[in-house]
Amino acid sequence: MDETGHVSNNDQISQATKNEQNKGKASDESQRKKAVRKKSQVDKENLHQSVSILPKRKRKPLKSNSNISDHYPKKKHAVTKQNEFYSMSKRPCGYCLIINNYNFEGPSLKNRKGTDKDKDSLTRVFENMFFKVEVRADLRASDMQNVIKEFAERDHSELNAFVCCILSHGEKGSVLGIDGKQVPIHELTQPFAECRKLASKPKLFFIQACQGNEAQQGVWMADGQESTTEDKTFEEDAYIPASHSDFLIGMATVEQYQSFRHTEDGSIYIQELCKQLEIGCPRKEDMHSILTRVNRAVSSQIIQRSNKQMPEVRYTLTKKLVLPMKQTSS
């Protein structure tokens, strides 16, 4: 610029050159950025294509860790199973009292021929189930009550269970001593309900006695039902309340009806009971299943051409009961 304030031609040319150079630089920078963006876009497209060309990998199913998946369920199942069954691990397992009334006083009650067969069968079976069997024979009513009290007062702390088998004449709700006097069934079970050392342990009663004087009549059945006992000689042989917990009471017959005993072969009920115990216990079957088969087998027989007998089981068990059985060589 000269002194008069005018811009010289040289200055104008220099300024124009600078402007052109700045425009060129801006244009180059713009071109460079476009090139970078284009390259980035191309790289992304190539990467996507290369990924899509790769085959998809098959996902393998997850393998369970056997140490974990097997351990915890088994442990939980074992605890549950243990809580469902009564413990029967003690040896001896418990006492088994057999009251066997054969010789009755007075003319009104006949001697119970065949009862010794039942006593022998019960002794064999319960000894094989690790019970300590004791037999008391021909007891009057007061003697029956005394022996029950004696066994209830024994030390059962190291035992698992108690069994009582009563073979006698009976009436509704009671069994008879050889003197003909009644002993109510609840008076036989009550002392064991009060026995603290048998608390939460199974207490089993099996009663072979009538519960009344009526005879159950047979009914018509489909062809194929055969009687294998109708030609044998039978005699009449009783209401049993299962009070409190952990009792099982197997009765030879339902209330008001007679039960039958063969004069040589023993009673239908006790013989079938022993048979099914010897079959079911080695298989680890529970008592409910075994006694259901006893009911079915006894009730299917026809006695003296027209009579029937229907056993009954009453129980207040709180767990499954599986009785042990010695393995006998065949």
Known catalytic residue at 169: yes
Torsion of CA 149, 112, 247, 257, to 10 degrees: -130
How do the domains of the chain map onto residue ranges?
Answer: 88-217+226-315
pLDDT digits (tens, 9 = 90+) for 43-79: 666 655 655 555 556 666 655 554 544 444 555 555 4
CA distance linking residue 257 with residue 240, whole number of Å: 13
pTM: 0.70
E strand or H helix at 285, and its extent? none
Domain 88-217+226-315 in CATH 3.40.50.1460? The answer is yes
- How many CA atoms does the CB half-sphere of 249 hold within 13 Å? 25
Under the banding of pLDDT at 50, 70 and 90, the label for residue 88 is very high
Max avg pLDDT among 24-28, 38-42, 47-51: 38-42
Q: 191 in helix, strand or coil? A: helix
Could you say which of 93, 164, 165, 210 is catalytic? 210
Could you say which of 96, 156, 165, 169 is catalytic? 169
Known catalytic residue at 164: no
Task: Phi first, then psi: give them for residue 234, nearest 5 degrees.
Answer: -120, 150
Greater pLDDT, 53 or 21: 21
**pLDDT computed for residue 15 by the predictor:** 61
Max avg pLDDT among 18-22, 53-57, 255-259, 319-323: 319-323
